[in-house]
Amino acid sequence: MLDSKNFILKNGTVVDVRSETTKKADVWICDGKIQGIGEFSGDNEVDCEGKFICPGFIDAHVHIESSMVTPNTFAKAIMPWGTTTIIADPHELVNVKGNIAMKYLMDATEHIPLDVYVMLPSSIPATPFETNGADFTVEDMKQWIDYERVLGLGEVMCYPNVLARDSVIMDKIKLCKDMIIDGHAPGLSGDDLKSYIEAGVMTDHECTTYEEAKEKCQAGMKILVREGSAARNVAPIISGLVKEPEHAIDYMFCTDDKHLDTIEEEGHICYNIKKSIALGLDAIKAIAMATCHVADFYGIKQTGYVEEGYVADLVVLDSLQDVTISCVYKDGVAVSETMFEDAPVSVDSRLLESVVLGKISKEQIQCKVRGKTPVIGMVPHEIITEYLLEEVSEQDGYFIPDAQYSKLCVFERHRGTGHVSAAPLKGYGIKGGAIATSVAHDSHNVIAVGDNDEDILKAVQTIREIQGGYVLVSHGEIKGTLPLQIAGLMSTWPQKKVQSTIDYILTEAWKLGVSKESDPFITLSFMALPVIPELRLTDMGLVDVVNFTQL
């Protein structure tokens, strides 16, 4: 039996991300660290002939909540894919329950196998055009700022406030001035981009083209290339980087939001690497973007390299080009099921009681229309939307959903305001039913879509009954539910049970005509996010994101 405290990875090819070369060598591991790279022999050897030894992969920006499972369950899902470290921004949870949620996230990630570093949520809420569940002020941040695992300020989504040098966000940036400050600025360019960077923002993960990424990079930003479940930006950005590989040093990989079913199907950060290599990027450059680039920039010490003195977080590959994973080591221990067995964390009861809805009625979700009306146009494979002005079906001056236009609704669920809004949505395609969820970035009110009011209301009422989650209704019948007990965002169920439930609901949703160009629930969850262009719906109504105004 292998002694995990002292053993040798024998005859492998070490991927040296510092020099961007490979070399045939043994790797001696003892007490969780790399003791040497060279020629070694001993009683405990693992034959790595023909295999490649890489540093453990790092996700530079991720919201654990988007996996809809607890941190330990999330770790269990991603670590076999080679991800040994993540940088988490818990702004989903904190938008719902503030400091209560922050404490849960810190406690729940303290003793799990995965290394979890944390960015302090900056934009709670992201805009004044929505109602969220709690505040998270600069005073709240001060109690966490000195924690060893806190690296800086999470994505600064309220970029109009930064451009205006609003004191609330500027005080948060000032608090973190000696740390990393992550950005979120889709489409920002020219003088506005320069002003945003001059305020102290250092990164962006919202680029959708190489041209946008290049401008931001040349202006001084580091670029996080995202490949999640809904937003897939690797192809357009890496295709450009392949032609200008000298700029790769300023690029890193992230997933941002990736669900369990997508992870199971294609992997985690390893998929960003694999896809980039297939697009023509040098394999070692791609691996460096997932390892040392992140570790160096965010200041994560003793990781990101296969070098003496570094933590033995390693990925052994059968194929460098295909990124075929043979084995993953965390602190010198092979990742296995037994790693994730003992990580109980108590959940504050206030996190389990997060859906507060008053009386809901058909009258609340009526949408007045006259002539050409604002329509949210979905964009396949993206979370951006189009601001359309189109004539839609109506009766007595009120919008009637049909095969082309679904009815989108948002119900405030935190503070009992009774705010409800509705608007036409183009491109969703649901027929004979409705979907509702308490996952609605970033304020996480209840969002619903359907082709008839009765099923919409039934779905929302069911969300209230199960205190958050996913619900699918067709012709008055509940076709599927997934309870998300923690803040209406995360399930306490095991990974496989969550996955199988999601798979079933997705299949049922596609039977109702929902476009297979997008995930029915993930895509829906972004329709209320008023910091991504062009048009969104919050509990307060439609928001023109480009002009940052309420319609």
Q: What is the pLDDT of residue 231?
A: 82
The amino acid occupying position 140 is D
309 with 179, same domain?
A: yes
300 with 359, same domain?
A: no
180 with 68, same domain?
A: yes
Between CA 530 and CA 521 the distance in angstroms is 18
pLDDT tens by residue, 149-180? 999 999 999 899 999 999 999 999 999 999 99
**85 assigned to some structural domain:** yes
Structure tokens at 204: 């962006």
269 with 379, same domain?
A: no
Q: What is the pLDDT of residue 241?
A: 97
Residue for token digits 């405290």? 5
**74 assigned to some structural domain:** yes
Residue 56 DSSP one-character state: P
CA angle 430, 436, 437 (to 5 degrees): 135
**36 assigned to some structural domain:** no
**425 assigned to some structural domain:** yes
Give burial (CB, 10 Å; 0-12/13-18/19+) of 309: exposed
Last residue of a domain, one of 303, 336, 369: 336
Structure tokens at 264: 């199971």
**345 assigned to some structural domain:** no
Task: Provide the number of structural domains found in the chain.
Answer: 2
Residue 399's DSSP bridge partners are: 394
431 with 527, same domain?
A: yes
The amino acid occupying position 469 is G
In terms of Cα–Cα distance, which of 205, 185, 529 is closest to 376? 529
**79 assigned to some structural domain:** yes
Helices 234-243 and 210-218: crossing angle in degrees, nearest 10, is 60
329 with 367, same domain?
A: no
Residue 398's DSSP bridge partners are: 368, 395
HEC secondary structure over 174-198: HHCCCCEEEECCCCCCHHHHHHHHH
**pTM of the complete model:** 0.92
Pick out the chain residues at pLDDT < 70: 1-4, 342-343
CA 78 to chain centre: 13
Residue 375's DSSP bridge partners are: 388
Last residue of a domain, one of 306, 336, 366: 336
Last residue of a domain, one of 336, 370, 396: 336
Cβ 506 vs Cβ 498: under 8 Å: no
**93 assigned to some structural domain:** yes
260 with 358, same domain?
A: no
Q: What is the pLDDT of residue 4?
A: 65
Structure tokens at 455: 């099923």
**8 assigned to some structural domain:** no
pLDDT tens by residue, 385-423? 999 999 999 999 999 999 899 999 999 999 999 999 999
CA 83 to chain centre: 15
325 with 375, same domain?
A: no
205 with 240, same domain?
A: yes
Give the largest Cα separation in the chain, rounded: 83
Cβ 109 vs Cβ 140: under 8 Å: no
Domain membership of residue 183 as a residue range: 54-336
249 with 369, same domain?
A: no
313 with 362, same domain?
A: no
Q: What is the pLDDT of residue 220?
A: 97
CATH number at residue 181: 3.20.20.140
Beta strands in 65-105 (DSSP E): 83-88
303 with 379, same domain?
A: no
Residue 27's DSSP bridge partners are: 9, 37
Between CA 333 and CA 4 the distance in angstroms is 6
3-class DSSP state of 346: coil
Q: What is the pLDDT of residue 1?
A: 45
